[in-house]
Amino acid sequence: MTEYIENNNVIEIKLLSKSFGKKEILKNISLSLKKGETLSVLGKSGVGKTVLIKCIAGLIQADSGTINVLGKNIITLKSKELLAIRQKVGFLFQGGALYDSMSVRENLLFPANRNLNLTNKLKIQEQIEETLENVGLIDAIDKMPSELSGGMKKRIALARTLILKPEIILFDEPTMGLDPITSKEISNLILKTQKTYNTSSIIITHDINCVQLTSNRINILKDGIIYANGTYNELKNSKDEWIKSFLK
């Protein structure tokens, strides 16, 4: 049995540091994500939130520390081993990062063909349709990204990640640029996804409403460290005025 199952942590980070040149971004960060949990990471712009999840995904190399993802320290993994872990970790970029020249169907088909051991073309198409049903956009299957609204692009980006059935999803500002109603729809979709696919998630966001709707716990980054952590209610009732003002 792997370590992450034994202690119920799918991600465990210890003393993670990252600098760019002389600028320290992350300073000995330690955090964990339990199986089935949603953790939100808050902080002002430029504090290192996106750097943190890119380190977790292996998109940025950490300077020091350990990043255990599904029982493997990704800092020490070779390329083939890292690729195997990445297939179990979905990453949703801020803008969705859809391929503009591909239809919705083709956007989902691309990762499916590259990463799934499915030779039956009908089976692949059925899986694409099922995934789009789960995000409420089966009718958009043959549309191009240019024909989609901002909220629809977020849903399709999520569907493209779900096609690989990841165990962990990393969300980078999933509601950024969306109106309040659409933001709430995306937040509810994150909750639905967690229940349907039994995923564990880390959400980078400035959207306090999204945090309230989706998160079991919150970590707040400040000056390169985790300044505070706890549930929304615990942090909201903190005696620290900076924390309380941050959650308004």
- What is the rounded average pLDDT of the residues 145-159? 90
CA distance 131 to 129: 5
Each residue's pLDDT tens digit, 153-182: 999 998 888 888 899 999 999 998 889 999
Grade residue 25 by pLDDT with cuts at 50, 70 and 90. Answer: very high
Measured in degrees and rounded to the nearest 5, phi and psi for residue 67 equal -130, 95
Confidence category of residue 143, pLDDT binned at 50, 70, 90: very high
Average pLDDT over residues 188-215: 92
Question: What are the residue boundaries of the structural domains of the chain, listed by start?
Answer: 3-88+168-246, 102-165
Average pLDDT over residues 140-161: 90
Over the stretch 112-127, which tens digit does the pLDDT of each residue have?
776 666 556 777 888 8
Residue 119: predicted pLDDT: 59
DSSP per-residue letters across the chain: --HHHHTTEEEEEEEEEEEETTEEEEEEEEEEEETT-EEEEE--TTSSHHHHHHHHTTSS--SEEEEEETTEEGGG--HHHHHHHHTTEEEE-TT----TTS-HHHHHHHHHHHH-----HHHHHHHHHHHHHHTT-GGGTT--GGGS-HHHHHHHHHHHHHTT--SEEEEESTTTT--HHHHHHHHHHHHHHHHHH--EEEEE-S-HHHHHHH-SEEEEEETTEEEEEE-HHHHHT-S-HHHHHHT-
Structure tokens at 130: 């099922």
Residue corresponding to tokens 């994150």 = 190
**What is the phi/psi pair of residue 76, to 5°?**
-100, 0
Backbone φ, ψ for residue 102 (5° rounding): -115, 145
Q: Is CATH 2.10.77.10 what the domain over 3-88+168-246 is classified as, yes or no?
A: no
- The answer to whether the CB of 215 falls within 8 A of the CB of 39 is yes
Q: How far apart are CA 200 and CA 10, in angstroms?
A: 8
